[in-house]
Chain A
């Protein structure tokens, strides 16, 4: 409700009220974004060591000194402006509820609650990155599951260590090899989580706990997945412009992106694609070198005219 002037009737336009409410929420978000932890997230997210991020260090040393005032601000604006909604991203599953407090580059800062009475989990997930969790409230038993090795059949062999989540406890995990599996608690367990993905993440892998079988694998880098999708789309939208860009993509980035770009380039422009293929095939130490060399051999066998393209390439000596 807005009062225009004393004695004037109240204005109660729902749309206007909602817009004002949202502005109030955005203002709280903007104030939070000014907190020094966000500056440190930028540095941490681009690879700076945590020891050089004093605000993040202080946050991890005494989380509630930062979280409590933030919650005060959030609850205050939610009470005075219930029509608005807090512009913070979140994730909600049967096992946990997480609010993303900040993100930059490869880093994410979240407030997370492990939900009570959650269903049991049948699989363990390993991503390529690091994670620090500081328990704020609640207690639960957990297993620190380590991916010890893969057996001859490619099944995961795990090492298990039981542990307890108690207020003040801190868990630091190398997520490519370790995962913290929290037993469903009887009451919520809330943690502050700081995570950072690897600079060049390997694929995410998910293994069945009962027998270690690999049940799912996905690109570890959302940006790379997006670039792969856009590369394929560019090849369809602009087949005359795409080969130059696609050839460039073969030079760096995750292997799945580079390989897809190479395939698309070859399909559109034989000369440019074959040149990109040859660069990979002749690059010792490149993770795609052997695949590229094998593909080049196959192509030359099937299409002998491609030898002419090889002869045109300048001698590297």
Chain B
């Protein structure tokens, strides 16, 4: 589960002060001293009991810019990207809250077991804190195909209680968030690594202890898919190139899928997936085999009942 960071500091800081500190002393999750320093700044932000109300008053009275269209209802951005991270607050409605009753829990990412492709620090700021079931796993041992055994090891169920400060480790800590007992808020320092978009984040099937799906996808993969759908010559050529050479197995799979989308007939589509099966990536090979099998099943005419 995430590391609990023991950090005592009674000082309080404004978001701008924390952002300035992180700009000059970036959060490096690989460096224990950096984690400790960044955690201390998050602690100080959490000690500031008025800044969030100030932000909310500003936004509700029209003095602050609405962030709804960019980040959704649940997130309050506290800083722009500073160096390699940014600050944000998350609001966690309880089951009894009107918005939860109206929209359901899915929109708040509850009951979705997942890991993260980035590190972050978090602290409970208000309310009893959302609950989490926590697991750990070995990301390097997983290729990411659907149904692949994930080797999750359950740790505990606990909540992000007020002032509890934790370090979620990329590709190691898995959690399933559950609604808090009352409306709660957490504050985060979110790390952004170059190339992060190509590192896979998974959704897990807890009952089967398996990978359920890859959650990450990039605008590039979508753009490539649309370009192929539009018969864009360079898009099709790039899809072929990425399928063979991209460093990310997920990108290779996306590229083969985009080519298959463009294919004029099943024979061409099957040839593309056959090429994918032989490309040397286990993720791509297994997913390609699944596509070929599904196509074969779809092609078998239904047998008449005797």
Contact = CB atoms under 8 A, between A and B. Distances in A.
Interface of A: 14-19, 21-22, 25, 67-68, 71-72, 74-76, 78-79, 82-90, 92, 97-99, 103, 111-113, 115-116, 136-138, 187-188, 190, 217-219, 222-223, 225-234, 236-238, 241, 245, 248-249, 256, 260
Interface in B92-149: 93, 97-99, 102-103, 126-127
A97 B222 contact: yes
A74 B73 contact: no
A237 B235 contact: no
A82 B241 CA distance: 11
Contact of A236 (B50, B66, B99, B183): B183
What DSSP secondary structure best describes chain B's contact surface? helix
Given A82-B242, A85-B220, A137 B230 contact: yes
A99 B68 contact: no
Given A188-B261, A229-B73, A113 B225 contact: yes
20 contacts: A15-B194, A67-B230, A71-B230, A75-B223, A75-B227, A82-B246, A86-B218, A99-B219, A103-B69, A136-B230, A222-B72, A222-B73, A226-B67, A229-B93, A230-B59, A232-B99, A234-B60, A236-B127, A237-B185, A241-B57
B165 interface: no
Given A79-B241, A113-B229, A229-B73, 4 more contacts: A74-B220, A97-B229, A232-B97, A233-B126
B232 A71 contact: yes
Contact of B68 (A22, A223, A232): A223
Contacts of B91: 229-230, 233
B231 interface: yes
A79 B238 contact: yes
B162 interface: no
B53 A97 contact: no
Nearest to B185: A233
Contacts of B242: 82
Given A15-B195, A71-B230, A71-B235, A227 B60 contact: yes
A218 B103 contact: yes
B69 A222 contact: yes
Q: Which of B68, B219, B231, B247 has the most CB of A within 10 A?
A: B219
A230 B60 contact: yes
Interface string B233-276: 01100100110001100010000000001101000000000000
Nearest to A190: B229
Contacts of A103: 69
A234 B57 contact: yes
B232 A75 contact: yes
